């Protein structure tokens, strides 16, 4: 069974245990104590933060010390806390997906059906390939561009496509001129370069870098005033993996998604975009993928949506029960890094939610 399949199976098992709705009892669950006990016993190696809210009520908010990195640069042992900025890694992609929806609602970026290469007139030579010229904005959003791309090698290896993009003289041309290996829309390939292209469309349409646009249109309205967005050697923000937020602020973004894009009476992300973003564009083993978001295998709309990041980063939103889960961890580049967030959800979140529902 693949890692993706095991992830999906664990999430599906969780979903099967949770009732759809129920009144919550007033007593607070001691999730923090249970998590601390397990961490002290060595059962949650590498875990840094857990924050869980259920229908707006905080069920867990706890941080643990541990070695950390800043976009691959070791930071040593860190005393993580509520205000500690942490790499989101590829959860950044899901944030970029929300930003595209905001910009689309403002009429500043092309529709998902627009030809992608037409948005890059400086690369008009690439349009001579009819297959490449068939790539749309939606194909970039859903990582179904049909171009050659591989992030299977470690991110310390220059042959990794994302690393090679970061080292390229022109990252956007590098992404767009990869060899075509499939008809656009036919197959899915995990592709941080596609996210870079999405962010570039935001920058071109708004006249603002993606981090500046995020600050004005997403972070400030949510009360997020401290963040970091790592830039590459060329000065461009890394749209695929460079955002750093504290756990509480990532949970605010999760709550925004849970609330249909609204916050404090204001529609920040168009509800229509969330519906589009969470519509499955491809199936992957027992998971699905939308526009920069991972989706559950079942449900229309999906039973849950999530952002996954290298090292064990997770943002999971389950609308049917009002659940937001944030997990940060430091198990970067480890093939089994998925185990810690899944263990947190299966062994701690699911029992706590069941108890809250009187089961």
Residue 5 has a pLDDT of 47
For residue 26, give every residue at least 6 positions away whose Cβ sits within 8 Å of its Cβ, in sequence order, or none.
none
Q: Which two tokens mark 352?
A: 């706590």
Pick the CATH number of 96-203 from 3.40.630.30, 2.40.110.10, 3.40.50.1970, 1.20.58.710: 1.20.58.710
Per-residue pLDDT of the chain (359 residues; tens, 9 = 90+): 455 445 545 554 555 455 544 433 334 446 999 999 999 999 999 999 999 999 999 999 999 999 999 999 999 999 999 999 999 999 999 999 999 999 999 999 999 999 999 999 999 999 999 999 999 999 999 999 999 999 998 888 899 999 999 999 999 999 999 999 999 999 999 999 999 999 999 999 999 999 999 999 999 999 999 999 999 999 999 999 999 999 999 999 999 999 999 999 999 999 999 999 999 999 998 899 999 999 999 999 999 999 999 999 999 999 999 999 999 999 999 999 999 999 999 999 999 998 877 65
* Region(s) of the chain under CATH 1.20.58.710: 96-203
For residue 34, give every residue at least 6 positions away whose Cβ sits within 8 Å of its Cβ, in sequence order, or none.
348
Residue 285 has a pLDDT of 84
For residue 27, give every residue at least 6 positions away whose Cβ sits within 8 Å of its Cβ, in sequence order, or none.
none
Q: Which two tokens mark 76?
A: 């040593």
Residue 154 has a pLDDT of 83
DSSP secondary structure letter of residue 80: -
Q: Which two tokens mark 151?
A: 């992030």
Cα dihedral 208, 209, 210, 216, rounded to 10, equals -50
For residue 52, give every residue at least 6 positions away whose Cβ sits within 8 Å of its Cβ, in sequence order, or none.
31, 58, 59, 60, 61, 323, 324, 325, 326, 349, 352
- The pTM of the whole model exceeds 0.85: yes
DSSP secondary structure letter of residue 347: I
Residue 13 has a pLDDT of 52
Can you tell me which residue has the tokens 């929806």? 101
Alpha-carbon separation of residue 149 from 117, 161, 179, 194, 313 (angstroms):
18, 6, 9, 10, 23
Q: Give the fold, CATH level 3, of 3-80+252-262+304-356.
A: Beta-Lactamase (3.30.450)
With beta carbons less than 8 A apart as the criterion, state whether 237 and 210 touch: yes
Give 63's strand partners: 49
């Amino acid at each position: 069974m693949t890692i993706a399949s095991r992830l999906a199976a664990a999430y599906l098992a969780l979903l099967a245990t949770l009732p759809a709705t129920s009144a919550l009892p007033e007593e607070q669950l001691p999730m923090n104590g249970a998590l601390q006990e397990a961490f002290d016993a060595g059962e949650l190696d590498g875990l840094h933060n857990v924050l869980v809210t259920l229908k707006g009520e905080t069920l867990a908010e706890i941080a643990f010390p541990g070695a950390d990195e800043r976009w691959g640069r070791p930071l040593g042992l860190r005393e993580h806390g509520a205000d500690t900025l942490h790499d989101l890694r590829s959860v950044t992609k899901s944030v970029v997906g929300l930003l595209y929806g905001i910009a689309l609602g403002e009429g500043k970026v092309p529709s998902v059906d627009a030809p992608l290469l037409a948005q890059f007139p400086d690369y008009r030579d690439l349009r001579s390939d009819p297959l490449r010229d068939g790539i749309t904005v939606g194909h970039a959003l859903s990582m179904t561009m049909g171009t050659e791309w591989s992030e299977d090698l470690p991110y310390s290896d220059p042959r990794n496509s994302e690393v090679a993009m970061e080292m390229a003289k022109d990252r956007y041309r590098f992404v767009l001129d990869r060899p075509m290996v499939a008809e656009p829309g036919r197959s899915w390939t995990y592709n941080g370069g596609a996210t870079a292209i999405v962010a570039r469309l935001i920058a071109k349409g708004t006249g603002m870098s993606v981090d500046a646009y995020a600050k004005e249109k997403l972070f400030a309205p949510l009360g997020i005033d401290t963040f970091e967005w790592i830039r590459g050697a060329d000065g461009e923000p890394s749209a695929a993996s460079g955002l750093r937020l504290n756990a509480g602020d990532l949970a605010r973004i999760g709550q925004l998604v849970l609330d249909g894009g609204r916050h404090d009476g204001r529609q920040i992300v168009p509800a229509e975009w969330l519906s589009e973003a969470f519509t499955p564009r491809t199936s992957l083993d027992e998971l699905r993928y939308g526009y920069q978001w991972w989706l559950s295998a079942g449900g229309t709309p999906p039973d849950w949506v999530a952002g996954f990041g290298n090292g064990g980063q997770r943002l999971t939103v389950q609308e049917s029960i009002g659940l937001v889960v944030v997990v940060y961890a430091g198990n970067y580049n480890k093939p089994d890094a998925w185990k810690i967030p899944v263990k947190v959800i299966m062994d701690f979140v699911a029992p706590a939610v069941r108890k809250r529902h009187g089961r």
